[in-house]
Structure 1
Amino acid sequence: MKILIVEDQQRLGQFLKQGLSECAYTVCWVGTCREARDELADTNYDVIILDLSLPDGDGLQLLAEWRRSGFNEAVLILSARDTVEDRIKGLDIGADDYLPKPFSFDELLAHVRSLLRRQSTVKQTVITHRCVRIDLLGHTVKLKEQPVNLTSREFALLEIFMQNAGRTLTRSYISERIWPGLADTNLLDVYMSRLRNKLEAGLGEPLFKTLRGVGYQLV
């Protein structure tokens, strides 16, 4: 399980990273809004632990931005802002949980485990975006209720986009997920062309947006 820590206090960030890593989680720690945005553009995380007072912005604004863009991963706010109003505001904006500072590490772990359990029970097996429907268990795809024939690689590629609709995915991130360890990303262009031919022709309008030199986005 992957956890992203967004915390600008160095001692606390290091403490959280070390403690969670010792509990067998894969952990990344960043200290600014910009670094958090960059990290989430490249990697999927199961839980984000988010401080609110960051040097280049407010954590609540960052969270609101994530939710508007379709980001639905679990977010635990960890903040010294501990009034009832602060907690209500954080939860209303889109946080899944709120833990005030100071805190017990064991309590933090319990909150993380709870969020991970919740994520696993609500994980979608059927995802719909516009007129495209993908069944992850049945391994089928429908466009306007008509079956679409995809190879296993095409299906895996579409699954990544459907799970991250609206988010910009970098070429390196997509390629590593589909062809682990293969540095050549030219294959991605080939498979994106095939996927577009099979979906956009039937839709009659663009489904994918190309961001030159960066990657792709399901729109």
Structure 2
Amino acid sequence: MEKGLGENSYTVVWRRSVAEANDAISESGFDLVILDIGLPDGDGLDLLQEWRRCGFNEPVLILSARDSVEDRVAGLNFGADDYLPKPFSFDELLARVRSLFRRQGSVRQTVMEHRGIRMDLLGHTVTYQGEAVELTNREYSLLELFLSNTGRTLTRTQIGEKIWEANYDMQTNLIDVYVRKLRQHFDLNQEGPSIIKTVRSVGYMMS
């Protein structure tokens, strides 16, 4: 499954337990979760319920050998967006993933605001304290990533994979250069600490 999704241009992070999944969700921004509820250290339904209680709103597709109508209803009631019983074909899984992304795109917010920054995703414009800000495409993508993950630390690897994808060389300082450019756009009139905080030896966080 991991290989197949990767071959269809999805970036996949595979975690094998409740503990690993919780750590991944708390540290990274994900667009969709495929959750096998038969985990070795806990019940996936309890995990999903806790995520929803804590405000995680991204789509979740459950995979499970529990295939009764009652099990599927329970999964949806616990907060899943879709439920696929095992065994399943990869083509069906891929179709359901694409469907969830389409559904997600139709309801995703079109304006993001934080500390005076306003990004209009439909108009592809950015203003700061009411004044237009001109950004390159790469700066815009990086700002969108930070605004989508305010208060969450993003590692250099996560930023590189999201913004530069396979073309990013971890040995370069490109991320630092672009973060510095964003700071120059927004920090001059900002009171207090920088709007993008350096998390030493890890990455960056929009605070």
> TM-score of the superposition, structure 1-length normalised?
0.67
State how far apart, in whole Å, the 1-side matches of 2:140 and 2:38 are: 41
- Gaps of at least 5 residues in structure 1 are 1-15
Whole-Å separation in 2 of the counterparts to 1:36 and 1:125: 28
Deviation at 1:169, TM superposition (A): 1.3
Change (3 A) 1:97 1:128: farther
In structure 2, what is the Cα distance between the partners aligned to 1:64 and 1:209?
31
Q: 1:65: Cα distance to partner?
A: 6.0
Equivalent residue number for residue 178 of structure 2: 191
Deviation, 1:154, is 2.4
Q: Which residue of 2 aligns with 1:5?
A: none
- The structure in which a higher percent of residues are strand is 1
Per the normalisation by structure 2, the TM-score is 0.70
For 1:90 and 1:51, the matched residues in 2 are separated by: 14
Query: After the TM superposition, which residues 9-158 of structure 1 pair with which residues of structure 2 at under 5 Å, given as runs?
Result: 16-17=1-2, 20-21=4-5, 24=8, 26=10, 28=12, 29-36=14-21, 46-60=31-45, 62-63=47-48, 71-79=56-64, 80=66, 82-83=70-71, 86-87=74-75, 89-91=77-79, 95-99=80-84, 101-102=85-86, 104-105=88-89, 108-158=93-143
* Number of residue pairs matched by the alignment: 199
2-structure distance, mates of 1:123, 1:196: 26
Counterpart CA distance in 2 for 1:203 and 1:65 is 36
Is residue 51–residue 59 contact of structure 1 (8 Å, CA) maintained in 2? Answer: yes
Distance 1:213 1:112 in 2: 34
Amino acid at match of 1:116: F
**Alpha-carbon shift at residue 158 of structure 1 (Å):** 0.7
Alignment partners' CA distance in 1, 2:113 and 2:157: 25
Q: 1:181 to 1:134 in 2, by over 3 A?
A: same
Please say if residues 72 and 83 of structure 2, whose CA atoms lie closer than 8 Å, have aligned partners that are also in contact.
Answer: no
> SS where residue 202 of structure 1 aligns?
coil
Q: How far apart in 2 are the matches of 1:182 and 1:84?
A: 43
- Unaligned stretches of 5+ residues in structure 2: none
How far is the alpha carbon of 1:215 from its aligned partner? 0.9
Q: Does the CA-based 8 Å contact 1:41-1:168 persist in structure 2?
A: no
Q: Distance in 2 between matches of 1:210 and 1:17?
A: 32
Aligned-residue offset at 1:161 = 1.1
User: Is the Cα contact below 8 Å between 1:168 and 1:217 reproduced in 2?
Assistant: yes
**Residues 102 and 152 of structure 1: is their aligned pair in 2 closer, same or farther, counting only changes over 3 Å?**
closer
- Distance change (3 Å), C-alpha of 1:153 and 1:117: closer
Match of 2:189 in 1: 202
Q: Structure 1's 214 and 61: CA in aligned 2 closer, same or farther, altered over 3 A? A: farther
**How far apart are the structure 2 equivalents of 1:27 and 1:178?**
12
How much has 1:195 moved relative to structure 2?
1.7
